[in-house]
Amino acid sequence: MTALDVITKPLPPERRLYLQRTATQALQVLERFSSGTVEYGPVALQLLDEWIDRLGRRASLPTATWALVIAFLGQTFLHRHGGYWATQVQRQKQHLGVICPVAGTGDAMRFIDIAGQVNRRLAHGISDSLAFFYLSTSVDLKGRS
């Protein structure tokens, strides 16, 4: 195996369950934040972007907050597109993300680096919006017909 090989593996059931539960916790946090009902989707991700910005003004974000954001973004993709949580090792680095089907391609699947996008969002601010990332990636997954 060379450093350029890519290895993708589904997450074990206990890690998938942890991420599902953590996403549910994030949903509850967003409902308290917005004082309303929140469902997985782009509107919830806009709320999540706002919540991140407000938290970021106070202090650096704790690890538990990163986990909430990663889990919520990933579950939003899975609710809309189907698929499963996975890790991908590329260039000797492990990435946490989801594998989603690409519409109109038969059985083609795409790995979406959820943790990488969350890292970019937290590092660069709203210019790497989670809502925009979700919408643009969803267009790619559903096709441009």
The CATH architecture annotation of domain 6-142 reads: Up-down Bundle (1.20)
- The DSSP output letter for 111 is E
User: pTM of the predicted model, to two decimals?
Assistant: 0.93
Name the residue among 91, 82, 92 with its Cα closest to residue 112: 82
Give the confidence band of 89 by pLDDT, cuts at 50, 70, 90. very high
Q: Starting at the edge strand that comes first in sequence, how are the strands of the sheet with 84-90 ordered?
A: 6-10, 84-90, 93-101, 109-112
* pLDDT for residue 145 is more than 50: no
What are the structural domain ranges in the chain? Answer: 6-142
Tell me the pLDDT of the chain averaged across its residues: 91
Q: Coil, helix or strand for 40?
A: coil
pLDDT in tens, 112-139: 999 999 999 988 889 999 999 999 999 9
Q: How far is CA 128 from CA 3, 40, 80, 105, 119, in A?
A: 28, 19, 21, 28, 9
